[in-house]
Amino acid sequence: MPQLCVNIDHVASLRQARYRDSGLSATPAGLGGDFGEPDLIRAMHEAELGGADGITIHLREDRRHVTDRDASLLRQLARVRVNLEMGATDEMAAIACALRPHTAMIVPEGRREVTTEGGLDVAGNLEALTGTVAGLKLAGCVVSAFIDADLHQVEAARKAGFHVCEIHTGPYAAHFLRAGGDFLDDRLATELERVAIAGGAIRAAGMRFNAGHALNYTNVGPIASMPGIAELHIGHAIVSRAIYVGLREAVRDMKQILVRHEDDPFETPD
């Protein structure tokens, strides 16, 4: 059964929607954004209590949701693994080396995107990324690349020294929605196969195979049932469900699907 790493960025997004420019701050750093509600650290603990195996946050260049203070407190207080998503910049590499998250996951980053769109081009930035990976390794981090299901990128990630490749499941999720989950749809079946082939190549290269992006309670089963998949990173679907049932229960519901997926990868919650 793959482990579940819960991304809580959107809890911070909700907080920042109200407090980022609220004027509550007494310092230039923005105490309103750091101390407003919902509280990110409480969200982390609720996710832990629901059974999360890890917590993911993305500290973006523009600090649009998660802040430096959030990242520092979360790393200090988390009882499970902390996965820090980050751009491959000198600033973020320095922050990660200081925080020493359990996993540093390098992702592409655009100022206008709502969430990460597309995988990292490791092949096109091999030299620079090799240096970044080496520095993060020296700090004691497991280093992960968020990539598309592309064998060229898998091989480049191996050359760069990454420990982990997380396959971008957004294309699979989009076709699952369009096809209503019917795997007689050729494009949906193809996208699932692409993830599986990339996963096999990752494992053959001696790296850990993770997956994430746009996975939810309906589409996660076929991904979770893939041979050798180690970890799933899911955020938006869980935080969305938490509006109705609470974060602890929303995480628990997802964990139950992962427990049951070996019997029926297409099973969904009641």
Residue 58 designated active-site: yes
The 3-state DSSP composition of the chain as helix, strand, coil percent (nearest 5) reads 50, 15, 35
Rounded to 10 degrees, the C-alpha dihedral 222/47/24/110 comes to -30
Residue 45 designated active-site: no
Catalytic hit among 163, 168, 213, 233: 213
Helices (H) and strands (E) in the chain, counts: 12, 8
Determine the Cα–Cα distance for residues 62 and 76; give it in Å rounded to an integer: 23
- Determine the distance from the C-alpha atom of residue 200 to the mean position of all C-alpha atoms in its chain, rounded to a whole number: 20
Nearest to 160 by CA among 118, 121, 187, 192: 121
User: Residue 148 has what DSSP assignment?
Assistant: -
Nearest to 59 by CA among 25, 19, 101, 17: 101
Spatial contact of 164 and 142, defined as CB atoms under 8 Å apart:
yes
Determine the Cα–Cα distance for residues 77 and 67; give it in Å rounded to an integer: 15
Residue 231 designated active-site: no
Catalytic hit among 85, 166, 191, 231: 85
Catalytic hit among 46, 48, 58, 175: 58
Residue 76 DSSP SS3: helix
User: Residue 218 has what DSSP assignment?
Assistant: T
Residues marked active site are found at 58, 85, 213
